[in-house]
Amino acid sequence: MTTVTGKIDAKLVKDLREKSGAPMGECLKALQEAGGDIEAAFVVLRKRGMASAQKKASRATNEGAVGAYIHAGGKIGVMVELNCESDFVARTGDFQELLKDIAMHIAASDPRYVKPEDVTAQDLEREKDIYRAQAAATGKPAAVIEKIVEGKMAKFYEEVCLLEQPFIKDQAVSVKELIAQKVAKLGENITVRRFARFKVGAPDWTVAQTRPVEAAAAE
Give the domain ranges of the chain: 10-51, 59-116+161-218, 120-151
Closest CA to 165 of 107, 92, 97: 107
> pLDDT value at position 8?
85
3-state secondary structure of 199: strand
Q: Is the pTM of this model over 0.85?
A: no
Q: How far apart are CA 172 and CA 207, in angstroms?
A: 27
Q: Is it the case that residue 168 has pLDDT exceeding 90?
A: yes
- For the structural domain made of 59-116+161-218, what CATH number should be given? 3.30.479.20
| Whether pLDDT at 22 is above 80 | no
Fold matches, 10-51 and 59-116+161-218 = no
- The matching CATH number, chosen from 2.60.40.10, 1.10.8.10, 3.80.30.20, 3.40.605.10, for 10-51 is 1.10.8.10
- Give the mean pLDDT of the chain: 85
Can you give the pLDDT at residue 218? 43
Q: How far apart are CA 43 and CA 22, in angstroms?
A: 12
User: What angle do helix axes 121-136 and 142-160 make, rounded to 10 degrees?
Assistant: 130
Confidence (pLDDT) at 81: 97
